[in-house]
Amino acid sequence: MADDVRSLRARQAREKTSAAADGALALALEAATLLFANGQTTERVILAVERLASALGCHAGVFPQWGQLNIWIYDARGSHEDARAALPTGVDMGKVTATLDVIDGLCDGRLAPDAARSRLAAVAALPPVPLARFALMAAVGAAAFGVIFGGAHPASLAVMAFSAGAGACLRRWLAGFSRGPFLQPFSAALLAGFVGAVAIRLGLGTALHLVALCPCMVLVPGPHFLNGALDLVRLRIPLGLARLAYALMVVLMISAGLLAGLTLGGSTLSVSGPPVAVPLVYEVVAAGVAVAAIGTFFAIPWRALPVPILIGMLAHAARWTMMAVGGAGVVAAALAACLVIGGIATPIADRMRLPFPALAFVSAVSLIPGVYLFRAAGGIVGLVALAGKAAPDLAADTLADGATAFMIVLAMVFGLVFPRVCLESRRLARKTKSP
């Protein structure tokens, strides 16, 4: 009889332990999915899950890959593992911050596991940015890009704002029909190209190619480029390449939509054109407005929005000074500005619990070489259409625009990622040396 009682108690203890481990695994999977799918760096996802498991008396191993998260929870009594589908195609800084708040509450003892699970479910159900705010900030952001690139004619800015705002409404409408990641940017760029073609034919304002280009620049998936670069630096080669491939596919869809819209409107995109000098005050203010607009897209909390605005304005002022006073080229100036952003954003992102790629890209958004990139795409289409009849200048201008865009993107990625890697390596070295 005593043996039966002991056996029953042992079995109940094992079942209780198994249930606790399963609960910890489910909680870790939920938190990791929210972070991974909404723009947090892979490194920070792993650290967050390890903290959560430690608070629950376990250890955790996290093995992310494109489309899936694998988590292993273990302690002295055994291990449990599970996987969940998760695509890292979103960027929502509000959800990342809220998820980290839940993990902090669990680690501090302010939240019980059941309460934490309910809070995470509420975070997952958070709605997107309201449509009116989304469309308004898209319009304002496109107009701000127009000012930065020299298209400050009121009529041009008005058309840019209308095109980008309408594109934002179209994207949100399409989101109700399709979860595919490419239809929305393609359709918004298609609309921008068509509106730009009409504006070009009607002669509305000056620098008319910007009317088509600037609404497309708010669609560039910068955080995914940065996350991919960080994964490559950390030797997560398959995941890093997958992130970069996704970002490039989005850019390809934007370019295809833009060129198709221009073609439907009976217009083409000019390839070459000297940069227009813009006064420092105009550029810095416009950069701050562009940062605010893109920050809205990524659902950055209102209390945190002034931070990337100030960083972006400072970096843009540094870029303008290097080019106008120091005589630096666009690539060197972009590199210097992004080194400033990366050095400032790294500690701030950790302190404010914001995903670094989103914060860094939002701060650097006014530096993206969208004009060069889309003009190069237009030049490639022109070369294919004209075949052997294309003028030599068209090929040279297309090559120059494409090379400039590539070098600026490379400089931006290096400038944003290098300070992050250096500061994290230094922090890890200090932690290793400490007793």
Convert the pLDDT of each residue in 390-399 to its tens digit: 566 767 777 8
| pLDDT value, residue 305 | 84
| pLDDT value, residue 94 | 86
| pLDDT value, residue 76 | 64
| pLDDT value, residue 17 | 45
| pLDDT value, residue 188 | 93
Which two structure tokens, joined as six digits, stand for 278? 């813009």
Strand ranges, E, within 1-96: 59-65, 67-75, 78-86
pTM, to two decimals: 0.83
Nearest CA-CA partner of 293 in 311, 305, 275: 305
| pLDDT value, residue 376 | 76
| pLDDT value, residue 431 | 55
Which residues does the chain have with pLDDT short of 70? 1-22, 76-78, 151-152, 204-208, 269-277, 370, 381-392, 394, 427-435
* DSSP track, 130-168: -HHHHHHHHHHHHHHHHHHTT---HHHHHHHHHHHHHHH
- Parallel, antiparallel or unpaired: strands 67-75 and 78-86: antiparallel
Which two structure tokens, joined as six digits, stand for 412? 């931006």
| pLDDT value, residue 300 | 81
| pLDDT value, residue 13 | 42
Q: Give me the count of residues in the chain.
A: 435
d(CA 333, CA 326): 9
